[in-house]
Structure 1
């Protein structure tokens, strides 16, 4: 899909019509992605762009924390210097403010469309433990059953806790081990027993299964939502 550069507000030609063209082209491809039920990475990109737009509108400055991890501190400092020069130029800054005024409601609408799709998929998935859940559940196995189909994607997962000045939050990393065809004898419980025998470093692993009741793309929708669902579920277990 067509990407919108991280620093699209400040790079290239600072002209309302040009920026409008860039934005509308990007949002057109974002809408097309949602039409195919592909949420990621477009949804997270939209959130990043919208949050930065708000920061610029409210503070007339760029905020490093609003940028994704792929931009380094050095890159940001260069971008900030460019932006400081723009702020000092009243005519150019007016162009930027006109773009922000135009873009804000469009981003809001696009994000609402993405959230509606996210909520729909989330409502139609179920998460359940497989077997007995141990006291330690920050790592283990995630079984993912897409719809339709008779296959289970088997992932090993690890949850890490991150803290900053304001909050504590959990991140999750998953790695696909293999894909298994389900059957009368190959149940989720039987699959867990097999994994324990094959990977003895996890003798009593926490294991959860996420089952989708609606069709959606695995990598660009189901897996990211399943990961967030698992983090939420585990957080509630730890409470």
Structure 2
């Protein structure tokens, strides 16, 4: 789908009707993706745009700094460059405020729709370990399957910890291994033993099945939701 640039608010012509047209065209694309139950990267983009607009709305000084400037004078001897803002603050800031007031509730509406879809997908996932639970569940295999399908998509995963000044976050890296066809004779346990024989990285690696009751787009929805759900599940059973 067509993306909305991160600086769409201040890029190009600052005109309410023009920006309204750009935003509504973008949200129409978002609506189509959500109708097809495609969550990513749309949902994360909506979060970014919403947070940016709320930040700008709260801070007028910051808003003024967003606008471009052009060079009016260059003093090469003293290494000085003078700039002039390309906006007349009051008039343009009022126009920007009107655009923000129009955009924020509409983006928020679609953001809530996306969250509802995410929650619905998450509620339709069933997660369970394959065999004996490993003592090191932060690394292993994720077996992903959808609604009565015999096809199982297997990924290796690694949970990582990263932090900023105030918080710690858990992330998960996955790598696709392959498709495995499941049957009465080729169960999840059998697939796990095949992986152990093939990769020989552990005698009892962590392995979890994530089974979806419904069919969703894999890369745009099921895989990203499954990854986040697995992290939450692992640290819930470890607590």
- Please report the TM-score for the alignment, with normalisation by the length of structure 1: 0.88
Q: How many residues align?
A: 224
Partner of 2:210: 210
Larger Rg: 2
User: In structure 2, do the counterparts of structure 1 residues 208 and 8 end up closer, same or farther at CA, with 3 Å as the change threshold?
Assistant: same
Shift of 1:162: 0.7
Q: Distance in 2 between matches of 1:12 and 1:81?
A: 10
Q: How much has 1:59 moved relative to structure 2?
A: 2.2
Q: Residue 10 of structure 1 aligns with which residue? A: 10
- Note the residue ranges of structure 1 that are not aligned, 5 or more in a row: 64-78
User: In the superposition, relative to structure 1, how do residues 116 and 15 fare at CA in structure 2: closer, same or farther (>3 Å)?
Assistant: same
Contact 1:55–1:61 under 8 Å retained in 2? no
The residue correspondences of 1:79-118 to structure 2 (distance < 5 A) are 80=66, 82=68, 85=85, 89-118=89-118
Equivalent position SS for 2:200 = coil
Deviations 1:165-214 (A, max 9, x none): 12111111111100011101111111111111111123321111100001
Alpha-carbon contact 1:143-1:155 (below 8 Å) kept: yes
Question: Does the CA-based 8 Å contact 1:154-1:179 persist in structure 2?
Answer: yes
Calculate the TM-score normalised by the size of structure 2.
0.88
User: Which 4+ stretches in 1 moved above 4 angstroms?
Assistant: 83-88
- Relative to its length, the structure with more helix (as a share) is 1
Q: How does 1:32-181 map to 2 (within 5 A)?
A: 32-60=32-60, 80=66, 82=68, 85=85, 89-181=89-181
Alignment partner of 1:159: what SS?
strand
SS of equivalent residue, structure 1 residue 223: helix
Q: Summarize deviations over 1:134-162 as a string: whole Å, max 9, x none.
A: 22111110000022521000000011101
Evaluate the alpha carbon distance shift between residue 121 and residue 23 of structure 1 in structure 2; reply closer, same or farther with a 3 A threshold: same
Distance, in Å, in 1 between the alignment partners of 2:175 and 2:86 is: 44
CA–CA separation in structure 1 for the residues paired with 2:149 and 2:119: 22
Question: Take 2:236 and 2:88, find their aligned partners in 1: how far apart are those partners?
Answer: 49
State yes or no: 1:232 paired with 2:232.
yes
CA distance in 2, matches of 1:175, 1:82: 42
SS at match of 2:233: helix
